[in-house]
Amino acid sequence: MSFGPSPWQQAHWDARAAGNFVCGGAGAGLLVFAALSAAEGSTLTGLVLAGLALVGVGLTCVWFEIGRPLRALNVFINPRTSWMSREALTATLLFPAGLAAAAQVAGWPWAAALLALVFVYCQGRMLQAAKGIPAWREPMTTPLIVASGLAEGAGLFFLSTPLHGAGTPPSLAIFAALIVARGVLWLLYRGRLSGAAPGARAALDRAGRVLLVAGTLVPLGLLAVIAVATMQEAMALLAAIAGLAATLGGAYMKYTMLVRAGFNQGFSLERLPVRGVRRTPARIP
């Protein structure tokens, strides 16, 4: 059903919109984790540029989704009430700050990390502001989107560990904490969606199984093995696999939320007209 009292799936935000949340969130998370990891030199430069590139890819996906791309600048005109406008304005500050961080100017990696955190927070609030979609308007959506972006960024950091070898025990502990936090927030989020459409709940349940098994238990198990391993080469490989699993699990979850679970609530009609049945006049108190 495409129109009527029963819920139907929205068609305005498609895979291109999901690309912004997937790529932009993971890129912002990578910028945050690059600062937390205390990476230096060419490693820091490469991580920051990769994070900015992902954010740029996500924004480009949104630009392609716009029906009239030449009017894209209109997104900046309403920052007082629109989280999409706030996301766009944050991005305009994030790129120069990120370039300064990539140039290893003192203090700028943390400034870029702060702006990246604001960026992914705006994404979560933007999704939650869609009040007609039960799977999006849930208050747990914002912390889930933020935590997933940070976990995916950490996953990308460890996915590239064989290239830079900058992973440390404290950064591994932060990665594990982010994975656990995302899993807990997912369970809280899913437990509050009893009123969502059956199609939305079925899609989210499939994504939840992928997230909890492939995106949570698998990387946590690999991180536990790393904690007792002694071979440096094996540790780097296991960290990369854990990072890939955590990143893909979160990406699939966000794609499902945007594209497959985007059912609205339908019309709420207390009385439906029936042909041949007289309408009962309302009583005047």
Per-residue pLDDT of the chain (285 residues; tens, 9 = 90+): 455 567 778 878 888 889 999 999 999 999 999 999 888 899 999 999 999 999 999 999 888 777 676 676 778 888 888 999 999 999 999 999 999 999 999 999 999 999 999 999 999 999 999 888 999 999 999 999 999 999 999 999 999 988 888 788 899 999 999 999 999 999 999 999 877 888 899 999 999 999 999 999 999 999 999 988 766 677 888 999 999 999 999 999 999 999 999 888 766 555 666 776 666 655 555
Q: What is the rounded CA–CA span in Å between residue 148 and residue 165?
A: 23
Position 2 in a domain: no
Residue 4 lies in a domain: no
The confidence score (pLDDT) of residue 271 equals 64
Nearest to 183 by CA among 224, 225, 239, 140: 140
The reply to whether 9 falls in a domain is: no
**pLDDT at residue 71, as a whole number:** 73
Closest by CA to 193, choosing from 247, 248, 263, 255, is 263
Per-residue model confidence (pLDDT) at position 211: 97
Is 201 part of a structural domain of the chain? yes
Residue 10 lies in a domain: no
pLDDT at 36: 92
Q: What is the pLDDT of residue 67?
A: 66
Count of domains in the chain?
1
pTM above 0.75, yes or no: yes
Q: Which domain holds residue 50?
A: 15-260
Contact predicate 239/158, CB 8 Å:
yes
Domain membership of residue 274 (yes or no) is no
**What confidence score (pLDDT) does residue 95 get?**
97
Q: Look at residue 81 and tell me if it is in a domain.
A: yes
Using CA atoms, how far residue 65 sits from 62, 68, 73, 132, in Å, is: 5, 9, 14, 20
Domain contains 1: no
Here the CATH number for the domain that contains residue 58 is 1.20.1630.10
